[in-house]
Structure 1
Amino acid sequence: MTVVNDAPKSKTPADRPEYDHAGRTAIANRLLKGSSARSFDPIVELDWDAPLEEGKYFLPPKVISLYGTKLWDEMSEEQRIELSRQEMANVLSVGIWFENLLNRALLIRLMREDPAAATSHYELTEMGDECRHMTMFGKVIERSGARPYMMRPWERWAMLALPAVMRGTFMWVITLVGEELFDALQREMRNDPQLQPIVARLMQIHVTEESRHIGFARDGIMRRKPIRSRWETVTAANLHGLGGPAFRRLFTNPQMYKRAGIANPREAARIARKNPNFHEVMIRSFEPLSAFLRQADLMGPIGERLWRRAGFLP
């Protein structure tokens, strides 16, 4: 009697799918053309001499962390606008530090890549975009009359160490965590009539240019999907969850409330973290990225638990 073995055979190296270099190159070339056709210099695109408009917010009220709470109801309109100024300065400060991180990770990556490749050329172009964004964020903080929020020493050390481990799928997942949370809300806020014009213009520019960066990162993840190892998948699918508690703390920085004149800033932070309205804002910010991570099979159980506990998932 002949015994037939129906068990699947393990793939040899020759059987494994190869990375789609041609497709990745085509995407890079398309994004390079888009960058050439539609990039912005914030020094000339924003009217730095225009006065701030009285009575307008620096973030729309509905996305401010204390909106809808008893503490918010007790604040005057001037106090609410001041809190919006401080929350905007905090968010832009976080954006500066993250884009600094991304640029350093891309520089390390470029040391291993072909300098004549289209992907390398787009990564250099993206770094140029990010440098202009950091300039724009810093100048808007200054123009608003606020001050930037600085990282604590341990946060700086963490940011210095992180680029060394940002490789493969994990590199692009971390990129999306830092970019998509802001992008989703900016798309919602940029046309709000209550917004200061200079902030609205910043968001319009940032959304336009970040859409290319997000597209490049998402494409990098999907092209690696057929070839990534189980270890690469498991680590990338779960370590991104650390972003949940980190961003929850950053978005409710007690220093914002202190600078806005709130008597008990730590209590204000606790109120914000329990605020159902702000919880909904966090969910909306994470929703597009959450859907993509599930599509890419990169929402691991630990990662999902961390994002949910931090309030970014319902």
Structure 2
Amino acid sequence: MTSTQPRPIAYEPPVAKVGTELDYDQVIEDLSTASVDRNFDPYIHIAWDAPEMAIVPNDPRWILDPEVDPVGKHPWYKNLPEEKKIRIGMWRQANVAKVGLQFESILIRGLLQYASKLPNGDKRFRYVTHESKEECQHTLMFQEMVNRVGMDVPGMPRPLRLLDPIIPLFSTLWPSVFFFGVLAGEEPIDHLQKDFLRAGANVHPVMAAVMELHVAEEARHISFAHHHLRATVPTRSLPTRMALSLAMPVVMRVLCSAIARPPKAFREEFDVPVDVFKEMFWKSDDSKAFLSNVFGDVRMLAEQCGLMNPVSRRIWKALGIDGRSSRYRSEPTYEAF
């Protein structure tokens, strides 16, 4: 694997005081500048054809990590023959990449539609267009990984694929809900990839390269969504903020399951018992902890935006995504308890 630029695991732009238009505009300018100064092309920064990147049968590095992945943690998976564990690992990682591609495609269309409605001179136009360009590179990267793994994976569950043309409309009809969806899609994947990288998991070089590039740029995208919601939600009317407080946990829970949980094809392909699958997603203690940990940053954001109230807290809890809020963005799970 070759790279002409360093690939940081995380990026956080300079943060000014939250709450004024000037500070929000400065953050957007900083993010736009960072998108120009530090960006990646998967066909330049990943040496796909290098010998060490070859994907060969029975490579144990595709076995799912027992400390990070919800499937890899389950006793059913741990007791399988190594060959089947490898095949499941390849399928799951390829499907996560396919889900990422499909989600990024929805995001790109929504962001471009959002940008098209912005007035002349609005600083957000430049940043969201930069982000759309970066997400296009991510779709190329994810599809290249899927193609090289060689598993014919479907990606998102069929109901969400059917809604694919409709979801981008939220970016101009209900932009706050759209950006909830952005975080609901980006946070689980980002959380899982950072856990892999922090744990030093022995993953295939292709997967490691994809995760490193994605995490480095995704930090900017998540940061923009956080800053945008912090700047805009508090300006809404009280009834609107109440409605948003109820919608936020629902959007998070629904999209997290659609993205993190494998589709029906996974159960059929590998004869996964229904009760085992339910434990993996989200009945076992490990999977419940994963589901809660994923949204520590989002719970922090909800509190900052004034969207945590007695009613909304009950919804977060009922959906199994309540818990301690992060103290700062990207706080590692092991530091949160």
Q: Could you tell me the TM-score, scaled by structure 1's length?
A: 0.83
Q: Deviations over 1:261-310 (max 9, x none)?
A: 3x245344223132222222222222222222222222456655555444
**Which of 173, 191, 197 lines up with 1:190 in the alignment?**
197
Q: Which runs of 5+ in 2 are unaligned?
A: 1-18, 324-337
1:255 pairs with 2:265: yes
- Residue aligned with 1:71, SS: helix
Within-5 A mapping of 1:36-75: 36-49=36-49, 50-52=53-55, 54-57=59-62, 59-75=64-80
Structure with more contact order per residue of length (Cα contacts < 8 Å, sep ≥ 6): 1
Within-5 A mapping of 1:60-99: 60-99=65-104
1:213 pairs with 2:221: yes
- Residue aligned with 1:66, SS: coil
What's the CA shift for 1:123? Answer: 0.7
CA distance 1:115–1:91, shift in 2 (3 Å)? farther
What's the CA shift for 1:45? Answer: 1.3
Tell me the residue number matched to 1:26. Answer: 26
Q: Deviations over 1:183-204 (max 9, x none)?
A: 1221111252411111111111
Residues in 2 aligned to 1:94 and 1:60: alpha-carbon distance in whole angstroms: 19
Within-5 A mapping of 1:75-154: 75-151=80-156, 154=159
Residues in 2 aligned to 1:139 and 1:27: alpha-carbon distance in whole angstroms: 33
CA distance 1:288–1:137, shift in 2 (3 Å)? same
- Residue aligned with 1:139, SS: helix
CA distance 1:35–1:264, shift in 2 (3 Å)? closer
Q: Which runs of 5+ in 1 are unaligned?
A: 1-18
Larger gyration radius, structure 1 or structure 2:
1
Instruction: Verify the 8 A CA contact 2:291 2:320 in the aligned structure 1.
Output: yes
Residues in 1 aligned to 2:46 and 2:28: alpha-carbon distance in whole angstroms: 28
**Which of 263, 266, 279 lines up with 2:288 in the alignment?**
279
Residues in 2 aligned to 1:190 and 1:114: alpha-carbon distance in whole angstroms: 40
Tell me the residue number matched to 1:14. Answer: none
Tell me the residue number matched to 2:179. Answer: 172
Where does structure 1 differ by over 6 angstroms across 4 or more consecutive aligned residues?
none
Residues in 2 aligned to 1:118 and 1:200: alpha-carbon distance in whole angstroms: 34
Residues in 2 aligned to 1:195 and 1:168: alpha-carbon distance in whole angstroms: 37
1:298 pairs with 2:301: no
1:288 pairs with 2:307: no
- Residue aligned with 1:61, SS: coil
Instruction: Verify the 8 A CA contact 2:176 2:229 in the aligned structure 1.
Output: yes
- Residue aligned with 1:35, SS: helix
CA distance 1:299–1:149, shift in 2 (3 Å)? farther
What's the CA shift for 1:225? Answer: 3.8
Residues in 1 aligned to 2:124 and 2:294: alpha-carbon distance in whole angstroms: 28
Root mean square deviation, CA, Å: 2.5
- Residue aligned with 1:62, SS: coil
Residues in 2 aligned to 1:129 and 1:115: alpha-carbon distance in whole angstroms: 23
Q: Deviations over 1:230-265 (max 9, x none)?
A: 233123222232331443354143322333x3x245
Q: Deviations over 1:63-98 (max 9, x none)?
A: 333334341242122222222222222222222222
Moved more, 264-273 or 283-292: 264-273
Partner amino acid, structure 2, of 1:84: G
**Which of 228, 241, 252 lines up with 2:236 in the alignment?**
228
Tell me the residue number matched to 2:16. Answer: none
Instruction: Verify the 8 A CA contact 2:64 2:71 in the aligned structure 1.
Output: no
Tell me the residue number matched to 2:274. Answer: 266
What's the CA shift for 1:153? Answer: 5.5
Partner amino acid, structure 1, of 2:184: V
What's the CA shift for 1:205? Answer: 0.9
Residues in 2 aligned to 1:210 and 1:118: alpha-carbon distance in whole angstroms: 20
Instruction: Verify the 8 A CA contact 1:67 1:278 in the aligned structure 2.
Output: no
Tell me the residue number matched to 2:247. Answer: 239
1:159 pairs with 2:164: yes
Moved more, 294-303 or 209-218: 294-303
Residues in 2 aligned to 1:129 and 1:234: alpha-carbon distance in whole angstroms: 33
Residues in 2 aligned to 1:193 and 1:63: alpha-carbon distance in whole angstroms: 9
Instruction: Verify the 8 A CA contact 1:138 1:148 in the aligned structure 2.
Output: no
Q: Deviations over 1:147-199 (max 9, x none)?
A: 23145664234232222233343232222222122212211112524111111
Instruction: Verify the 8 A CA contact 1:185 1:284 in the aligned structure 2.
Output: no
